[in-house]
């Protein structure tokens, strides 16, 4: 399954293929890497930075409690739903064009959100932000695959890109509270405008030498059915937080989404002359197995960052800002490990790193599940989260690299969109399932579901479930292709 030449077409080398000469570029690789990392940081930052600003937003604009949730859900829904067409568009029209288009839409919608005077305008701005993010994320992966031909350089780029996203998620928890308190909730959005403008200029300059894409039309039927199916599926899962899993608002969208995805598969397999998502991609073992593991992996960061933050606040009594600072050591560990593990990937292959990361998940979440209301921060939270962050640093860039390796250069964008979609869908489903399980466990405890001791039992169930997901990732990881040196 290693890279090479197949049927006369140039094929992307896998993470363990022999080094090839880098193609000419019009900008230093450091500038390109900084660009894709900054874009990924912005995309993930905006999925979490608004959380601590929600009370201020609701009070000033007059949101209902149900409507306020759509300030978050509107972004996440379109971000995940439009990822596949965003990835294919990067292949057809070029990663440079789509990255600039995504940055432009993201920045413009951030301006609209920061100036919003009604709930409807803010939610619409967040929906547009999600579409912009869905254009940006797969385009950055396509830039990595087309700009870094040498395996070591590509692995380092994946590591840096993954670390930027992880730090963005944690920084959002801290920056959201600081900006809202020191300035205004509006600057949570407005800060993206100057940053986006700078990144547009850098993208226009640094990526001037990348390929411009193929002159083909977008598969409209596939784009509509695929996007609608994913959006309906994710919407139904999101509704489970307010309704039971057997309720019509949950079951209806989930069933509709699954049916649309079946139609999408039939359209892509039989009717599309140039399918948006070529099903032949799944014949590549790394793509199929990598995306399967990313679906499982999606809930791991949720269990780590989201539920650990809730544990710190609701069980140990930390403020939101203090809880964010309490997670900073884990974020820094993730950053260091992701960059340190990247050079190992071409030497060892994906399988050993996935297994090592899974071992960290088992040990870390198993340890964290022992925490309770009387636990101290150093031994109850800090120690296990450092171990889990090490596992995420080893695993996430490895899975992204495995899921996008060995694909034709013209499919790099859709491969990146597919991988990011798998991670997002896994995260959305994981959040809904874990939150429901935690709430049910807490409600069954004596003393009421809101007592710290009862909440701790719910979070402990989440952590044990995440440990089980780590084991499942290890099992699926055994299906990854063996490293080339192992086969020699």
Q: Which tens digits make up the pLDDT trace of 262-277?
A: 998 888 888 777 777 7
Statement: 26-214 belongs to CATH 1.20.1250.20: yes
Q: Which residue has the tokens 């399932």?
A: 433
What's the pLDDT score for residue 19?
44
Return the CATH number of 281-488, one of 2.40.10.10, 1.10.150.110, 1.10.10.10, 1.20.1250.20.
1.20.1250.20
Question: pLDDT tens across 423-440, in order?
Answer: 878 887 887 788 888 888
pLDDT higher than 60, residue 14: no
* Residue 441: count of CB within 10 angstroms of its CB: 19
What average pLDDT does range 144-149 have in this prediction?
78
The DSSP H or E segment spanning 79 is: helix 70-81
The DSSP H or E segment spanning 429 is: helix 412-443
Question: pLDDT tens across 468-483, in order?
Answer: 999 999 998 888 777 6
Burial class of residue 426, CB neighbours in 10 A (0-12, 13-18, 19+): buried
* Residue 62: count of CB within 10 angstroms of its CB: 10
CB 43 within 8 A of CB 137: yes
**Predicted TM-score of the model (pTM):** 0.73
Q: What pLDDT band is residue 66 in, cutting at 50, 70 and 90?
A: low
CA distance 360 to 410: 36
Strands, E assignment, 65-205? none
Helices (H) then strands (E): counts for the chain = 24, 2
Q: What is the CA 303 to chain-centroid distance, rounded? A: 14
Q: Of 351, 437, 423, which Cα lies nearest the Cα of 166?
A: 423
CA distance 398 to 480: 11
What average pLDDT does range 131-146 have in this prediction?
85
Is the alpha carbon torsion for 216, 222, 228, 229 positive or negative? negative
- Region of poorest pLDDT, from 138-152, 201-215, 413-427: 201-215
Strands, E assignment, 23-137? none
Q: What pLDDT band is residue 20 in, cutting at 50, 70 and 90?
A: very low
* C-alpha radius of gyration, the chain, whole number: 22
Burial class of residue 386, CB neighbours in 10 A (0-12, 13-18, 19+): middle
* Neighbouring C-alpha atoms within 13 Å toward the C-beta of 384: 26
pLDDT higher than 60, residue 488: no
CB 338 within 8 A of CB 166: yes
Q: Of 37, 36, 52, which Cα lies nearest the Cα of 335?
A: 37
pLDDT higher than 70, residue 260: yes
What's the pLDDT score for residue 132?
92
CB 417 within 8 A of CB 230: no
């Amino acid at each position: 399954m290693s890279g090479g030449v197949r049927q006369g077409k140039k094929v992307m080398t896998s993470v363990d293929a022999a080094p090839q000469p880098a193609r000419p570029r019009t900008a230093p690789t450091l500038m390109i890497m900084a660009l894709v990392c900054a874009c990924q940081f912005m995309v993930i930052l905006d999925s979490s930075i608004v959380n601590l600003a929600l009370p201020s937003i609701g009070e000033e604009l007059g949101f209902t409690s149900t409507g306020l949730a759509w300030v978050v859900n509107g972004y996440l829904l379109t971000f995940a739903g439009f990822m596949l067409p965003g990835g294919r568009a990067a292949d057809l029209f070029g990663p440079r064009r789509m990255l600039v288009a995504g940055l432009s839409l993201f920045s413009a919608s951030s301006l609209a959100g920061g100036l919003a005077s009604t709930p409807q305008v803010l939610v619409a701005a967040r929906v547009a932000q999600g579409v912009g993010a869905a254009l940006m994320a797969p385009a950055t992966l396509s830039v990595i695959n087309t700009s870094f031909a040498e395996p070591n350089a590509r692995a380092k780029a994946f590591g840096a890109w993954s670390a930027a996203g992880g730090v963005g998620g944690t920084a959002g928890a801290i920056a959201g509270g600081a900006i809202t308190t020191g300035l205004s909730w509006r600057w949570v959005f407005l800060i993206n405008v100057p940053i986006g403008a700078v990144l547009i200029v850098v993208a226009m300059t640094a990526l001037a030498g990348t390929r411009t894409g193929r002159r083909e039309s977008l598969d409209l039927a596939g784009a509509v059915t695929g996007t609608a199916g994913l959006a309906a599926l994710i919407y139904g899962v999101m509704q489970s937080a307010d309704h039971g899993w057997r309720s019509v608002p949950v079951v209806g969208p989930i069933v509709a989404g699954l049916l649309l995805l079946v139609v999408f598969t039939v359209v892509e397999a039989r009717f599309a002359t140039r399918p948006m998502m070529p099903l032949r991609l799944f014949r590549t073992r790394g793509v199929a197995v990598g995306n399967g593991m990313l679906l499982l992996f999606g809930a791991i960061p949720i269990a780590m960052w989201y539920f650990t933050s809730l544990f710190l606040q609701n069980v140990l009594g930390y403020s939101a800002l203090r809880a964010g600072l309490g997670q900073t050591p884990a974020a820094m560990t993730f950053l260091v490990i992701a960059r340190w593990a990247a050079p190992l990937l071409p030497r060892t292959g994906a399988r050993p790193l996935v297994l090592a990361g899974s071992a960290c998940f088992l040990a870390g979440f198993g340890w964290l599940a022992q925490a309770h209301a009387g636990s101290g921060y150093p031994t109850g939270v800090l120690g296990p989260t450092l171990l889990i962050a090490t596992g995420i640093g080893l695993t996430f860039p490895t899975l992204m690299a495995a899921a996008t390796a060995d694909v034709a250069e013209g499919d790099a964008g859709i491969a990146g969109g597919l991988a990011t979609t798998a991670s997002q869908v896994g995260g959305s489903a994981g959040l809904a399932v874990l939150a429901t399980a935690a709430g049910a466990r807490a409600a069954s405890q004596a003393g009421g579901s809101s007592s710290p001791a009862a909440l701790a039992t719910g979070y402990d169930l989440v952590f044990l479930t995440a440990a089980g997901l780590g084991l499942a990732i290890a099992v699926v990881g055994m299906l990854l292709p063996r490293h080339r040196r192992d086969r020699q």
